[in-house]
Amino acid sequence: MITIGNLALYLALATSLYAVVASIYAAQAHRGEFVTSGERAAYATWGLISITTIVMLHALVTNDFSIKYVAAYTSTTLPVRFRLTALWGGMEGSLLFWTLILTTLTSLALFQNRCRNRELMPYVTATAATVTAFFVSLLVFLIPPFALLKFPPAEGTDLNPLLQNYWMQIHPPALYLGYVSWTIPFGFAIGALATGRLDDLWIRTSRRWCLMAWFFLSLGNLFGARWAYEVLGWGGYWAWDPVENAAFMPLLTGTAYLHSVMIQERKDMLKVWNMTLIILTFALTIFGTFLTRSGVISSVHSFTQSGLGPYFLTFLAFVLLISFGLVAFRIRELRPRHQLDSLLSRESAFLFNNLLFVGIAFATLWGTIFPVLSEWVRGVKITVGPPFFNRVNGPLAVALLLLMGIGPIIAWRRATFRNLVDNFVVPTALGLAVGTAGFACGMRSLSAILVVSFSAFVLYTIAAEFHSGARARGAMLQESYMSAILGLMRKNQRRYGGYVIHVGVVFMFLGVTMSSIYRTEELHTVKKGEQFTIDRYTLKYMDSENKEDSHMAQLIATLDVYENGKQITTLHPEKRFYKRPEQPATEVDMRSTMRDDLYVVLGSIDDQGVATFQAYVNPLVWWLWFGGVVLVIGTAIAAFPSKAATLHERARVTSTIRR
């Protein structure tokens, strides 16, 4: 099996390199047979990487400790589901998994465009195959996944306890899908630059790929936040950790691109800007892999130190050089046909929106790399912590929230005074009223007041858009109100799906703001039968219990929770000790409601049964996760093709085939 895995990996390197050469030659020489040959080589690469991955999964499940990677990340006592998770638990496996996703998405893109966009496809194939060849080269020459041990151990080291969690089974796959999916739109952008087809063809073709990449990157960040919330036991979910930042930055630039590309489609503007955004987004995905695998930063999320850093930086420099070189070559053809008419217009709102997204991304990038730059230049490593990011990015994020409400209701080209009065008076008054009510109820944080005010403003503008559209459609087609709303969403899924996404983002803003500003935290030491109070909750320490199996030992505490003298639930926080890595871990327990989360961590229990608990009350954090659910729904609406769009696309493909 190991021989098969290695052979498939070596052949994958050969086929990916051939796909690059054949596709570039086909594009330059206009040889259709080489276009097909390059695409077939890309399909073959996917098949070979799939074989390699299957061999690795078989080794992980069967505990083949002769393989160094298997011995380092599994054990005989590790549950099978976590042996599968071990595929992305270490350096070699994670890069193999990354390559599997990349070749799979490349094959899907080639199959999807087998009868269309034939002028662009050789460059799409060559771009994706170049990225594939880079990752496969790392696996072949630097970190072989099937490296053997001279003296295989009888037992493995086991998977890191922090990764033995449900969220780590879905967080990395979602995040990797988000990262890797940006390769396909980037490939279409390179194809457009190389061929000179700089109209909106490449944008329309890659739009759903961009939306998919953005969707999975959003999910990956959200799943990672939930993992940190449940596993790390510090009561929070986002710490501006360097690897968190690495996943956050391409999400920001990708979101900016999805907004600004609408201006290019409608007004034929911002062509250079959109090319820049798609290039930067893809480059940031490569930069993120560099951060997690180079060892230049310390993070709970990063892999052990390795020598891969220079290779990633070299490849990143190559990507930027080729990409921006093509932009410079086509700069005259990328000039816009129209100019911005007025600062008081929807185009301006989108532009300011973009600048804020990029500003947050740049501030996050600077705060992430500054400690490394400081150490290189001055020999002193300066720590940049959450206060910096919150102080810089907080105001920018609040401004973004406001623009979410302004964009949908301000007029295109130039807003008149009448338009401003008609569209802004009511939502502005509502926002001021909600902010005033918050202050009257004891809210004293300016950030919190602004967020609740702007949230009310945004939610009203979105509701007004749905309402006015439904009334107009209902009057014209004699439909009921709900039928008219559903009809609106079917007719313009991109627009109204985007509004639903914005609703989800507003809920997430509220959850993050309130849980960050008004969080309560207390430490209590109690004996059995004693109780302590935090906020409106009273917790009574009832008992503790020890459990043990071949994999781990557990110390479980039992707490009865009371509110207004009535028992509402029982919590069971615990401490775990994993035997193979000989490492402790915390398992929190919580009661989550729409109002707040009661979050309890077991610190320790001594020989006399005295227990120490860290307790938190996090207001409105439930809305962060619920906002993620709404975001999923909105993305599904925006991405799912309407019947009219499907018929139009079929007609376009049929016309292309006939020609």
Which residue would you say has higher pLDDT here, 334 or 268?
334
Q: Which of 311, 215, 303 is nearest to 255 (CA)?
A: 215
Does the global pTM surpass 0.85?
Answer: yes
Backbone angles phi, psi at 554, to 5 degrees: -125, 140
Task: Say if 227 falls within a structural domain.
Answer: no
Task: Say if 464 falls within a structural domain.
Answer: no
- The helix-helix angle for 121-137 and 91-112 (nearest 10°) equals 170
Q: Which two tokens stand for residue 415?
A: 């807003």
- H or E segment to which residue 359 belongs: helix 346-378
Identity of the amino acid at 298: S
* DSSP for 230-242, written as a single string: HHS-SS-S----H
Instruction: Pick the range with the lowest mean pLDDT from 89-93, 311-315, 372-376, 587-591.
Output: 372-376
* Alpha-carbon span 380 to 388, nearest angstrom: 18
**Confidence label for 652 from pLDDT (cuts 50, 70 and 90):** very low
- pLDDT of the residue at 266: 82
Count the alpha carbons within 13 Å of 509 in the hemisphere toward its beta carbon: 28
Write down the residue that tokens 């190991």 correspond to.
Answer: 2
- DSSP label at 344? S
Q: Which of 7, 36, 2, 1 is nearest to 19 (CA)?
A: 36
Identity of the amino acid at 186: F
Give Cα separations from 508 to 220, 503, 511 (angstroms): 15, 9, 5
For 159-207, what is each residue's pLDDT tens digit? 999 899 999 999 999 999 999 999 999 999 999 999 999 988 999 999 9
Task: Say if 548 falls within a structural domain.
Answer: yes
**183 touches 282 (CB < 8 A):** yes
The residue range of the domain holding 615 is 520-622
**Confidence label for 362 from pLDDT (cuts 50, 70 and 90):** very high
- pLDDT of the residue at 225: 96
CA 328 to chain centre: 30
Instruction: Pick the range with the lowest mean pLDDT from 373-377, 378-382, 459-463, 648-652.
Output: 648-652
* Alpha-carbon span 595 to 618, nearest angstrom: 9
Q: Which two tokens stand for residue 448?
A: 């919190």
Q: Which of 392, 535, 517, 394 is nearest to 445 (CA)?
A: 517
The residue among 126, 145, 164 that closes a domain is 164
CA 119 to chain centre: 31
Write down the residue that tokens 């907004």 correspond to.
Answer: 259
Q: Which two tokens stand for residue 51?
A: 């074989």
- pLDDT of the residue at 38: 97
Secondary structure (3-state) at 345: coil
- pLDDT of the residue at 657: 42
Over 90: is that where the pLDDT of 566 sits? yes
Q: Which of 425, 398, 412, 407 is nearest to 498 (CA)?
A: 407
Overall average pLDDT of the 32-43 stretch? 96
Average pLDDT value for the chain: 91
Task: Say if 191 falls within a structural domain.
Answer: no
* DSSP for 78-97, written as a single string: S-HHHHHHGGGTSHHHHHHH
Instruction: Pick the range with the lowest mean pLDDT from 2-11, 390-399, 452-461, 646-655.
Output: 646-655
* Beta pairing partners, 574: 556, 587
Secondary structure (3-state) at 466: helix
Q: Exposed e or buried b for every residue in 572-597, given b needs 16+ CB within 10 A?
A: ebbbbebbbeeeebbbbbbbeeeebb
Q: Which residues contact 496 (CB under 8 A, 6 or more apart)?
A: 466, 488, 489, 637
Task: Say if 563 falls within a structural domain.
Answer: yes
Task: Say if 413 falls within a structural domain.
Answer: no
Overall average pLDDT of the 98-125 stretch? 96
For 142-153, what is each residue's pLDDT tens digit? 999 999 999 999
Instruction: Pick the range with the lowest mean pLDDT from 6-15, 540-549, 643-652.
Output: 643-652
* Alpha-carbon span 448 to 430, nearest angstrom: 16
How many other CB atoms sit within 10 Å of the CB of residue 12?
27
Q: Which of 211, 201, 287 is nearest to 247 (CA)?
A: 287
- pLDDT of the residue at 298: 58
The residue among 145, 164, 183 that closes a domain is 164
Q: How many domains is the chain partitioned into structurally? A: 2
How many other CB atoms sit within 10 Å of the CB of residue 355?
13
Over 80: is that where the pLDDT of 333 sits? yes
- pLDDT of the residue at 299: 55
- pLDDT of the residue at 304: 53
Share of the chain above pLDDT 90, in %: 76
Q: Which two tokens stand for residue 527?
A: 């004996």
Over 70: is that where the pLDDT of 296 sits? no
* Alpha-carbon span 45 to 66, nearest angstrom: 27
**612 touches 603 (CB < 8 A):** yes
Across the chain, which distance is largest between two alpha carbons, in Å?
A: 85
Cα angle 633-639-643, degrees, rounded to a multiple of 5: 110
- CA-derived radius of gyration, the chain: 27
Task: Say if 142 falls within a structural domain.
Answer: yes
Q: Is 525 exposed, middle or buried (0-12, 13-18, 19+ CB in 10 A)?
A: middle
Q: Which two tokens stand for residue 424?
A: 């802004």
Q: Which of 358, 393, 381, 369 is nearest to 316 (CA)?
A: 369
Task: Say if 198 falls within a structural domain.
Answer: no
Backbone angles phi, psi at 179, to 5 degrees: -60, -55
**187 touches 258 (CB < 8 A):** no
Sign of CA dihedral 176, 180, 181, 182: positive
Write a three-state SS string for 369-409: HHHHHHHHHHCCCCCCCHHHHHHHHHHHHHHHHHHHHHHHH
* Alpha-carbon span 559 to 569, nearest angstrom: 9
The residue among 130, 164, 198 that closes a domain is 164
Q: Which two tokens stand for residue 406?
A: 């302004």
- pLDDT of the residue at 418: 74
Q: Exposed e or buried b for every residue in 446-455, given b needs 16+ CB within 10 A?
A: eebbbbbbbb
Q: Which residues contact 79 (CB under 8 A, 6 or more apart)?
A: 551
Which residue would you say has higher pLDDT here, 226 or 335?
226
Over 50: is that where the pLDDT of 405 sits? yes
Over 50: is that where the pLDDT of 269 sits? yes
- The helix-helix angle for 417-440 and 386-409 (nearest 10°) equals 140
Which CATH number belongs to the domain containing residue 45 in this structure?
A: 1.20.120
Cα angle 419-420-422, degrees, rounded to a multiple of 5: 65
